[in-house]
Structure 1
């Protein structure tokens, strides 16, 4: 197990996939399984890593972005694999997720998504990684009774990921100016 210094993630929780993703998290590193009941391991990252110690002004900026964004629906049904072997679900439509990521990145340019390692950041939910006995087909079979997931995106969570200390620090409702 690798010791993590911890990092923050602005994310959208995907409750219907929590059981599966939590189990896979425990398989790889049980120290990242959270005891916080509001923490959702199954998530779509909007911006990570984010600030380790955000100020109240930083939190207020995220609150403003959430307040300006309307809640929306998306579907997670398509299992795909990135070139590095990461098996994931794509959101369709993904434009509202991309818009949230762009808004957060514009507000916090010092925190490019995934440290700027990828050109086109694809909104996705990580399921697993290709390995012996783990393929997109085996993952699809495991999730056969769950997919497609129809998701109402109505909040942004500020998650903290650290060994033995994963928890939600803040949460904001998407209110679309209401």
Structure 2
């Protein structure tokens, strides 16, 4: 097993899919299954990798962006496969998520989404990867009773991903009127 040095992710939890994604995570590498009940294995990545050791000022920037972003709804119902074989659920609408990612990336230009590996960032929930016996169709059949998922996006979590140490470090509620 390859040990991860760990990385942070600014993400939106997708609770209705967490059991499925958690099980798939355990199948591939159980050291990434979190004991933290706040941790969302099923999530939409907004910005990753992010800062390993954010300063209070960095955290304040995320808090301001979250406070300025009203909560919104999206639907996860369309399963697709990226060219690299990653099976995922698309968000519809995805413009609010794209906008949130752009705001975070502009505030932290040294942290481009996915390290700058992809031209267009597509908001999605990773479900699995194409392999023997695992296809977009088999995943769709397994999730048929669960989909579509209507998701209220109302929070950004700062997740830490590391072998045997996945947890939530911070969380911010969206919308200035909803702040706690």
User: What is the TM-score with the length of structure 2 in the denominator?
Assistant: 0.98
Match of 1:86? 86
DSSP 3-state at the match of 2:49: strand
On the 8 A contact 1:72/1:96 being kept in 2, the answer is: yes
Question: What are the equivalent positions in structure 2 for 1:73-112 lying under 5 Å apart?
Answer: 73-112=73-112
Match of 2:55? 55
Q: CA deviation at 1:176?
A: 4.4
CA deviation string 1:7-44 (max 9, x = no partner): 00000000000000000000000000000010010000
Q: CA deviation at 1:2?
A: 1.3
Match of 1:4? 4
CA deviation string 1:86-122 (max 9, x = no partner): 0000000000000000000000000000000000000
Name structure 2 gaps, 5 residues minimum: none
Q: CA deviation at 1:175?
A: 1.2
Match of 1:162? 162
Tell me, in whole angstroms, the C-alpha distance in 2 between the residues paired with 1:124 and 1:176. 25
Match of 2:115? 115
Answering whether residue 66 of structure 2 is matched by residue 66 of structure 1, we say yes
DSSP 3-state at the match of 1:29: helix
Q: CA deviation at 1:153?
A: 0.2
Tell me, in whole angstroms, the C-alpha distance in 1 between the residues paired with 2:17 and 2:154. 16
User: What is the TM-score with the length of structure 1 in the denominator?
Assistant: 0.99
Task: Give the length in aligned residue pairs.
Answer: 178
On the 8 A contact 1:71/1:176 being kept in 2, the answer is: no
Tell me, in whole angstroms, the C-alpha distance in 1 between the residues paired with 2:114 and 2:175. 27
Question: What RMSD, in angstroms, separates the aligned Cα atoms of the two structures?
Answer: 0.7
Question: What are the equivalent positions in structure 2 for 1:40-51 lying under 5 Å apart?
Answer: 40-51=40-51
Match of 1:146? 146
Q: CA deviation at 1:177?
A: 5.5
**Which segments of structure 1 move beyond 2 Å, counting only runs of 4 or more?**
none
